[in-house]
Amino acid sequence: MVWAATIEHIYSAVERKASGFNTLEAANVVRFGTSNAYRLIRKKNDLLYLNDKNFLLLCEDVGVFNKNARKLLEDKLDTRNRCGHPTGYVLGREEAVVFIESLINNIINDAMMDWV
């Protein structure tokens, strides 16, 4: 649930920026325009059709956050995927606390967000 809240927070940052969707779409065309990963972005719900990793790359491209934030988010996404899919991975209590605190302190509280 913390991952979902984090992604929603980033979606909202894009939505709040006056030219957010247009800026993201321009970067989307440059990065993914000729690939199967391309999905048109015009409104918030369009973001739901993007792969999370691709969305994070686009956000870095347009300055929603920097490379360090993207790396943190990709690390947490990898953890979320290990836990959310049948991998047999068992998350310990301490790792869960670090996962939650890291996303809340750095992304949801806007410490690493440039579009606030």
**21-79 confidence digits (pLDDT tens):** 999 999 999 999 999 999 999 999 999 999 999 999 999 999 999 999 999 999 999 99
Give the residue numbers spanning the domain of 12.
2-108
In a domain, 113, yes or no: no
Name the amino acid, one letter, at 64.
Answer: V
| Within a domain: 61 | yes
- The verdict on residue 114 lying in a domain is no
Instruction: Report yes or no on 116 lying in a domain.
Output: no
Are the C-beta atoms of residues 37 and 57 closer than 8 Å to each other?
A: no
Distances (CA, A) of 1 to 50, 64, 101: 18, 22, 13
Q: DSSP label at 105?
A: I
Q: What is the pTM assigned to this prediction?
A: 0.94
Into how many domains does the chain fold?
Answer: 1
Q: Measure the CA–CA gap between 11 and 74, rounded to whole angstroms.
A: 16
- Helix (H/G/I), strand (E/B), else coil: 116: coil
